[in-house]
Structure 1
Amino acid sequence: MINNLELHFIGLYSKYGTDTNLGKENWIELKEQYQAKGRYYHNLDHITAMLMELESVKEMLINIDLLFFAVYYHDVIYLPHSSCNEVDSANFARERLVNTNLNNKQIDQIADLILSTKKHELHQESDFNYLIDADLSILGKPWEIYLQYIKNIRKEYAMFSDTIYNSGRSKFLKHLLAEEQVFKTAWFQKKYEEQARANLARELALF
């Protein structure tokens, strides 16, 4: 159970670094990014939700620490009008984690995990699929929670007109519904697939 993000992140960081102050500095930086103005969904609540989803399947994961690092950094750069958020977030993570005892291969994997959250495509390595599913888990929540999610996403895209936003959102919804499975892993499919499809179809009917 993750009750305190600050303690969790600093504890994670300290496992791979000897400078506790650097861990605290990195946490403060992350916190400021996720609490920036305009972050109605891609904020620390989203990070907490993803961490909790991964905690629930930790026995199935190969390297939970790398996944945790990827969660913390995957939306650290988030600009609704940008198509480079994942690339920028991956580079941001690389710059911060180079000061730890993580080796180059581990840092590369964290960056690759972050990049996988752009298209949410099936990956040959299971940890990637669990991360992707955790990122999309909001789609399978009860309608009332899902409805608040779509309201928050709309707020994040407030700079776009309804015509532009609805067109882009509809395309996204249709793409997900056309997939054989929204979720990549059997565990998340069993838990969320049915509700996710119902939510997606219900939202699409609003346009």
Structure 2
Amino acid sequence: MTTWPEAVARVGGDAGTAGEAQADLEARYGEPHRHYHDLGHAAAVARDSAALAAHLPAGERAAIALAAWAHDVVYDAVPGEDERRSAEWLRRWLTRAGVAEPHVARAEALVLATAAHEAPDGDDAAAALLDADLAILGADPSSYAGYVAAVRREYAKYADETWAAGRAAVLANLLARPVLYRSGIARARWETAARANLAAELTRWRANAGDRR
């Protein structure tokens, strides 16, 4: 797994500034309102995306590592806005570190891809990042349950009924996708377990609501 300072160095950035950014990154991921989207999640995405991107050129692997570490660095449970502000954070620090614009723009685009979880066909770097971001869906049932509980705590401002409706919609949309993971490696690792976890959770929400579909 490539660390943030290592990734910055690989795209020609200043080590001292990379260290300052790392300290800010760790402080942000350590904010008390985070229960799932914390430094552990960022590290897991960096680890899993590196494994999925092992066949890509060095520059793409560096961009993926930067995006993996930064993709949730701003997190206030405001979908879309969080990703935009995280991309701004990445751009600001990479620019301060003297990283060339093409590298900045590539990493920024990867962070922004996590907002809608959409990527152009053939973009293997984005596929690796997005697949790694969803790896938790294919975890063992106990770990998956822990993830669901942690995310619920992050959205504690919403009433149970509102949360249940929104969560059920998200689950249904995910299950409606032809595939959850873009790369063959990710599908082989996580697709079957992820669909089982999502379906079981959706069944529970619908049972609680009296919806027997």
Letter in 2 for 1:173: L
Superposition pairs of residues 1-207 of structure 1, within 5 angstroms: 8-17=3-12, 19-62=14-57, 63-81=60-78, 83-124=80-121, 125-207=123-205
CA distance in 1, matches of 2:134, 2:54: 20
Aligned Cα RMSD in Å? 1.6
Tell me, yes or no, if the aligned pair for 1:50 and 1:71 is still in contact at 8 Å: yes
Letter in 2 for 1:146: Y
Q: Which moved more, 1:103-112 or 1:141-150?
A: 103-112
CA distance in 2, matches of 1:132, 1:143: 21
Cα deviation, residue 52, structure 1: 1.5
> Deviation digits for residues 78-120 of structure 1, max 9, x if unmatched?
1114541111111111111012343212211111100111111
- Relative distance call for 1:21 and 1:205 in structure 2 (3 A) is same
Cα deviation, residue 64, structure 1: 0.6
Tell me, yes or no, if the aligned pair for 1:16 and 1:101 is still in contact at 8 Å: no
Cα deviation, residue 175, structure 1: 0.3
CA distance in 2, matches of 1:39, 1:45: 11
Cα deviation, residue 17, structure 1: 4.8
Q: Which moved more, 1:29-38 or 1:77-86?
A: 77-86
Cα deviation, residue 142, structure 1: 0.8
CA distance in 2, matches of 1:110, 1:122: 13
Paired residues, number: 202
CA distance in 1, matches of 2:79, 2:177: 25
Q: Which moved more, 1:8-17 or 1:57-66?
A: 8-17
- Aligned to 1:118, what secondary structure does the other structure show? helix
CA distance in 2, matches of 1:105, 1:128: 16
Letter in 2 for 1:14: A
Letter in 2 for 1:142: D
> Deviation digits for residues 31-56 of structure 1, max 9, x if unmatched?
01000011100001101111211232
Tell me, yes or no, if the aligned pair for 1:17 and 1:99 is still in contact at 8 Å: no
Query: Identity percentage over the alignment?
Result: 29
Tell me, yes or no, if the aligned pair for 2:5 and 2:18 is still in contact at 8 Å: yes
Tell me, yes or no, if the aligned pair for 2:8 and 2:14 is still in contact at 8 Å: no
> Deviation digits for residues 95-151 of structure 1, max 9, x if unmatched?
110123432122111111001111112422111111100000100111111000000
